[in-house]
Amino acid sequence: MNEYLRTTYDKFELRVRQGFYYTKDDLWVSVENGKARVGVSDYLQKTSGDVAFIEVAKPGSAVEKGKDLGTIESAKTTVPLPSPLSGTLEEANSKLTGNPELVNSDPYGEGWLVTLTPSNLEDDRISLLSADDYFKLMLEKLQSEHGKLESK
Amino acid sequence: MKMDTTNQKKVIIIPCSGIGKAFGSISRDATFEVTENLRKDNTQTLCLALLVSGDEDSKRLVRDNKCITVDGCPLQCAEKNVKLAGGNLTGSLRVVDTYKENRHLKPRSITFLDPDGQQMALKLAEKIAEKVDGLLEDQ
């Protein structure tokens, strides 16, 4: 299995990491040993532009699915980040403090945003999308928002 | 005090060639502001594409003079290519860092800089000029 599902739009290649869950708001979730790691998708970082500011809830705080987890901000836009899961925020990625551009350069890796201890993972997971389903949604967004698409 | 520029080498300022983002345009506007206005006697600019294509005069220019690169985005193509050409890189600036210092400015337009973009270019130009002054003092 390839690590990524890929498509091209204009000069950009857009990737969706297989094995992760996704929200309709373009965040990804990776669950391992009961802990969830959250970041933004390649699509979101590319359409947002160069990220200069990241604000997320404080470690130890309770977060609620669909409610404010934080924001990413570029010169182009400020994007609110609805939490994909309910739970307790364990850790914010300290590397992003001085290097918010990691969200752009490695959205599925070093550019992760936070880790959470989910409080209701089984129920919350039902509304998350598989990589395949998110890939289809991303293609629809590209089609409707940008109008031209070359799938591979 | 006016600086004596006799026999001084020039500082070469190389902006990125980024298109599709306002930050690329800002890097070039800021560079022109320095080379044509703020420090026109002590600086000159250079076409990055010419350097990348291997032009010998351009390579000699960046090797024989102190260089400052001005990149629009974190990919830093200008800095990377001046290094690849063996240039004497003495400073590198990124538009995104000027944006971090001036969060209220939201440049949007690419083809012609809007007022926020122009303001950011001027702020960046001042930073470049400060760097130039530091390099000239060291000479």
pLDDT in tens, B116-133: 999 999 999 999 999 999
**Greater model confidence, A28 or B1:** A28
pLDDT at A109: 97
Give CA–CA dist B77/B130, Å, rounded. Answer: 22
**Greater model confidence, B8 or A57:** A57
Instruction: Give the DSSP letter of residue A61.
Output: -
Residues of chain A with Cβ-Cβ distance to B106 below 8 Å are 75-76
How far is the alpha carbon of B100 from chain A, nearest alpha carbon, in Å? 6
pLDDT at A86: 97
Q: Could you tell me the sign of the dihedral formed by the alpha carbons of A111, A115, A121, A127, in that order?
A: negative
How far is the alpha carbon of A103 from chain B, nearest alpha carbon, in Å? 11
Contact B21 A49 (CB under 8 A): yes
Residues of chain B with Cβ-Cβ distance to A46 below 8 Å are none
Confidence of residue B44 (pLDDT cuts 50, 70, 90): very high
According to DSSP H, which parts of chain B are helical? 22-33, 48-52, 56-64, 77-84, 95-101, 115-138
Q: Is residue B54 part of a domain?
A: yes
Residues of chain A with Cβ-Cβ distance to B74 below 8 Å are 50, 101, 104-105
Please give the residue range of the domain that contains residue B125.
Answer: 11-130
Cα B63 from chain centre: 16
| For residue A143, pLDDT beyond 70 | yes
How far is the alpha carbon of A93 from chain B, nearest alpha carbon, in Å? 19
* Residue of B16, B99, B102, B109 for testing the chain A interface, max A β-carbons within 10 Å: B99
Residues of chain A with Cβ-Cβ distance to B103 below 8 Å are 52-53, 73
CATH number of domain containing B95: 3.40.50
Q: Is residue B78 part of a domain?
A: yes
Residues B116-131: b if buried by 16+ CB within 10 A, e if exposed: bbbbbbbbbbebbbeb
Q: Is residue B2 part of a domain?
A: no
Q: How many CB atoms lie within 10 A of CB A93?
A: 21
Query: A4-141: which CATH architecture?
Result: Beta Barrel (2.40)
* Residue of B25, B94, B106, B118 for testing the chain A interface, max A β-carbons within 10 Å: B106
Determine the Cα angle at B120 with ends B119 and B124, to 5°: 120
Picking from B16, B96, B93, the residue whose alpha carbon sits closest to that of residue A103 is B96
How far is the alpha carbon of A113 from chain B, nearest alpha carbon, in Å? 19
Contact B100 A52 (CB under 8 A): yes
Q: Is residue B26 part of a domain?
A: yes
Q: Dump pLDDT digits (tens) for B59-69.
A: 999 999 999 99
Contact A104 B74 (CB under 8 A): yes
Number of domains observed in the structure of chain B? 1
For chain B, the average pLDDT equals 92
Contact B103 A53 (CB under 8 A): yes
Report the percentage of chain A scoring pLDDT > 90: 86
| For residue B6, pLDDT beyond 60 | no
Contact B22 A75 (CB under 8 A): yes
Give CA–CA dist B86/B52, Å, rounded. Answer: 12
| For residue B3, pLDDT beyond 90 | no
Specify the residue for token string 């404010």: A68
Structure pTM?
0.83
pLDDT at B1: 38
Chain B interface includes A76 (CB < 8 A)? yes
Residues of chain B with Cβ-Cβ distance to A104 below 8 Å are 74
Nearest beta carbon to residue B74 from set A50, A75, A76: A50
Identify the H or E element spanning A141: helix A131-146
